[in-house]
Structure 1
Amino acid sequence: MIRIAHLSDIHFGGENVAAVAAAAEALKAAAPDLTVVSGDLTQFGEPHEFAAAADWLAQVPGPRLVCPGNHDSPYLAWWERFYSPFGRFERAIGPADPQVHDAPGLAVRGINTARGVQPRLNWSKGQVSAAQAREAVAWLAKAPADALKVVVCHHPLVEMIGGPMTARVWGGEAAARALARGGVDLVLSGHIHAPFVWPYAYGDGCSHAVGAGTLSLRERGVPPGFNRIEVSEAQVSVIAMAWTGSHFEPARTWSIDRRKAKRPPR
């Protein structure tokens, strides 16, 4: 069994203090094989917010893979947003793009779908290049055939139907198609502050998008929470954990058949 903790949109500077503290304790108790944070660690990309995020991450046991979100580019320091949009993230947290984790049975590649500036009014929306998708597929193709292949990014590449907000990722559909055809099993994301699981309508239909909720005060009709992902040889279970005000409890579970489990016998 492989266990992954998937968190997103903590928004230090506007975090739910009690939920964030409880999440750290839950992760210590669970000791997952990998903790993933899919962006928006901070609210305004300020140094003190990154310091708080780094301090919190230091409490989390085991390997971690953290990618930036649109809030992790400086909001007020416009010169940094233009010339070094993820410099603060990289100094405090680690590489902005790519991030990788390679372990027995699990291969994970993080890509940055956030941009400091874009040629459109809403810079919070996502963008992914064909090269980012191509390089992720090539790197994951080197993993053993039976490994779970995972991509992490901040923005959902394809819109969540009925979601509380949009991602409008430039290049998102093309990237999702390339990842699905490349045999990626899961694409973990955040941004919309609500958990979800759905299959991509590309490739063999076995690639799934998985979204995590938020641990911030920026709730969008869903309690703060995070995902527990449990991987067996045949299935992937995604358990959305919801904050009750005093503890986390399972709110919804999705079960996904592994790609190899769907293959007919030879």
Structure 2
Amino acid sequence: MKIRLAHLSDIHFGGENVAAVAGAADRIRAGGFDLTIVSGDLTRYAEKPEFELAKAWLEALPGPRLVTPGNHDAPYLAWAERIFAPFRRYEHYIGPAPYQAWRGPGVAVRGINTARGAQPRLNWSKGQISVTQAKAAAEWFEPSDHLRIVVVHHPLIEMIGGPMTARVWGGPRAAEVLTEAQVDLVLSGHIHAPFTWPYPHGDGRTYAVGCGTLSVRERGVPPSFNEVEVAGASIRVTALAWTGSHYEPYRTWSLDRRTDQANP
């Protein structure tokens, strides 16, 4: 199996780094990727002009694409809509909010919406995932899916030393469920910094992979996005940083896949 994925997150249209976003689109168009993934926060405040920019940018990319919402994709200022119909605008411009899915030969990708318009805590921007959501994703995979990927916005388990927290309600239990389902990668955004680490469950071969931001809201890391390449038993994740004129490698990780799933 050989597959190449572009993983972007936290573009925050309305507050995007215009040059970095344009450069990412150019690289994706030239890169021969099998799938482009955006793990949430397409917009800054979920305003309609921001969604229009996001939609136009996505539609200019080669397909296929898979997108999941982030907390910034629920209206920030229109509080009534945020509470009662938080992803109505997202679904109008982008697509289904509960989840999107994609399947190719031997590979399957399933989204889970960890964002909420309101929660019984003051910081509603933090993540939440139910066991029902996690199990529905786990049960969606088929025996022929040798590479299994889940896409969320919030990291289910906190990044050690990260620039901010996700504090996902239900995250640790969901990570266990996905590990039991032999998911290979759980892609996320939210904290604006790239990272990888294995979940502390099972065989240690289910990996969290975080993506940086393409917005001006940098948190100690240049604007960046990830390229994920899978070949046989190896998963290679490269965080590409924007220099102001082009992208170059910022960090690279090599991850081992489960040998019973890896195909040469």
Taking structure 1 as the reference length, what is the TM-score of the superposition? 0.96
Matched, 1:221 2:201: no
CA distance in 2, matches of 1:129, 1:67: 16
Matched, 1:60 2:49: no
> Does the 8 Å CA contact 1:128/1:172 hold for their aligned counterparts?
yes
Shift of 1:159: 0.1
Matched, 1:144 2:147: no
Q: Which amino acid aligns with 2:217?
A: R
Aligned residue in 1 for 2:240: 241
Aligned residue in 2 for 1:212: 211
> Does the 8 Å CA contact 1:234/1:261 hold for their aligned counterparts?
no
Q: Paired residues, what number?
A: 261
Shift of 1:83: 1.2
Matched, 1:14 2:15: yes
CA distance in 1, matches of 2:238, 2:75: 33
Aligned residue in 2 for 1:232: 231
Q: Deviations over 1:98-128 (max 9, x none)?
A: 1100111210000100000000000110000
Q: Which amino acid aligns with 1:134?
A: K
Counterparts of 1:73-84 in structure 2, within 5 Å, are 73-84=74-85
Matched, 1:104 2:105: yes
Aligned residue in 1 for 2:250: 251
Matched, 1:124 2:125: yes
* 3-state SS of paired residue (1:260): coil
Shift of 1:260: 2.1
CA distance in 2, matches of 1:122, 1:254: 32
Q: 1:17 to 1:159 in 2, by over 3 A?
A: same
CA distance in 1, matches of 2:9, 2:99: 17
> Does the 8 Å CA contact 1:107/1:143 hold for their aligned counterparts?
no
> Does the 8 Å CA contact 1:12/1:41 hold for their aligned counterparts?
yes
Taking structure 2 as the reference length, what is the TM-score of the superposition? 0.97
Q: Which amino acid aligns with 1:187?
A: V
Aligned residue in 2 for 1:46: 47
* 3-state SS of paired residue (1:193): coil
* 3-state SS of paired residue (1:131): helix
Q: 1:262 to 1:136 in 2, by over 3 A?
A: closer
Matched, 1:23 2:18: no
Matched, 1:155 2:154: yes
Shift of 1:31: 2.4
Q: 1:118 to 1:254 in 2, by over 3 A?
A: same
Shift of 1:130: 0.4
Q: Deviations over 1:145-203 (max 9, x none)?
A: 5x210000000000000000000000000000110111000000000000000000101
Deviation above 4 Å: which 4+ runs of structure 1? none
Aligned residue in 2 for 1:2: 3
CA distance in 1, matches of 2:115, 2:31: 30
Q: Deviations over 1:70-109 (max 9, x none)?
A: 0000011111111110000000000001110011121000
CA distance in 2, matches of 1:215, 1:131: 32
Shift of 1:261: 6.0
Aligned residue in 2 for 1:180: 179
Shift of 1:143: 4.3
CA distance in 2, matches of 1:107, 1:203: 21
Which structure 2 segments of 5+ residues have no match? none
> Does the 8 Å CA contact 1:149/1:183 hold for their aligned counterparts?
yes
CA distance in 2, matches of 1:153, 1:262: 22
